[in-house]
Amino acid sequence: MPLHGKGMLIVYNEVKPPHERDFNEWYNREHIDERVNLPGFHRARRYVAVRASPKYLATYECDTVADLATPGYLALLANQTPWSQAVIARFTYFRRLTLRIQIDLAHGAGGALTTVRFVPDPAMHAPLLDWLREILPRAIALPGMTGAAVAENDLEIANAPLQSRSMDNPRADEVEWVVLLEGSDPAATGAAARSLFKMAALKPFGTRTAPVVGTYRFLFGNDRP
């Protein structure tokens, strides 16, 4: 089964150890369900680091990236529940990516996820997609792999909360890409990412800094039709 839509929100975050129990309870008992039940949203999953920093990652799949900037969604960001306000105030790291899915080779739901983040030259958009379409099918055919997806951050959508004065106020200035490699084995997803996305492979597409690679294991998720 492919992803549940053509849009995705990815959030990387962290809290200090004394606050982790409440952080995890909030995600599992309130936040994931609240987001999944929004119009356009279909599935949310969260992960903890195996070999990554920051420690936590969450993905939210929606019909289109525009679902991440609707008036209703932005109003929710600006009017968080008391529990949400308390947990968000304790974040020691927060990065939010509002993504347009470019390639979807997902298959089911694996227990391991490796993400690769990098910033290419926007002029290399088409050649980069051609290259990814060539290499990813071979990668997900390896043992321990189940699927892959490629997504591009939409700057207008990413910065919409700034204009609505919500608490959720990142500032995105570069078009970052994310490759998601999913599998049943974190060693397999991590090895695939490190072998495919070396700096030498990305440099022809205008990437100037090394990609950020992180491997995570599944913690909790929920979905609706």
- Residues spanned by the domain of 167: 7-223
Q: Write the Ramachandran bin of 203: left for phi over 0, alpha for psi from -120 to 50, otherwise beta.
A: alpha
In a domain, 1, yes or no: no
Q: What is the pLDDT of residue 223?
A: 95
In a domain, 22, yes or no: yes
Question: What does the alpha-carbon distance between residue 76 and residue 74 come to, in Å, rounded to a whole number?
Answer: 5
In a domain, 198, yes or no: yes
Q: What is the pLDDT of residue 225?
A: 76
Q: What is the pLDDT of residue 224?
A: 87
Q: What is the pLDDT of residue 168?
A: 52
Domains: count for the chain: 1
Could you read off the pLDDT of 54-113 as tens digits, one per residue? 999 999 999 999 999 999 999 998 899 999 999 999 999 999 999 999 999 999 999 999
Question: What does the alpha-carbon distance between residue 45 and residue 61 come to, in Å, rounded to a whole number?
Answer: 9
In a domain, 175, yes or no: yes
CB of 151 within 8 A of CB of 180? yes
The pair of three-digit structure tokens given for residue 198, joined into one six-digit string: 């070396």
In a domain, 57, yes or no: yes
In a domain, 2, yes or no: no
Q: Which residues contact 153 (CB under 8 A, 6 or more apart)?
A: 97, 98, 99, 100, 172, 175, 176, 177, 178
Could you read off the pLDDT of 184-210 as tens digits, one per residue? 999 999 999 999 999 999 999 999 999
pLDDT exceeds cutoff 60 at 163: no
In a domain, 204, yes or no: yes
Q: How confident is the model at residue 164 (pLDDT cuts 50, 70, 90)?
A: very low
Give the dihedral sign, CA 211/215/220/223.
positive
Could you read off the pLDDT of 12-51 as tens digits, one per residue? 999 999 999 999 999 999 999 999 999 999 999 999 999 9
pLDDT exceeds cutoff 70 at 172: no
For residue 197, report the phi and psi dihedrals to the nearest 5 degrees: -110, 50
Q: What is the pLDDT of residue 160?
A: 77
The CATH number covering residue 29 comes to 3.30.70.100
Q: What is the pLDDT of residue 81?
A: 96
CA-based diameter of the chain, in Å? 47
With the CA atoms of 63, 216, 90 and 45 taken in that order, what torsion angle do they form, in degrees rounded to the nearest 10?
30
Q: What's this model's pTM, rounded to 2 decimal places?
A: 0.94
In a domain, 113, yes or no: yes
Percent of the chain with pLDDT over 90: 88
Q: What is the pLDDT of residue 169?
A: 52
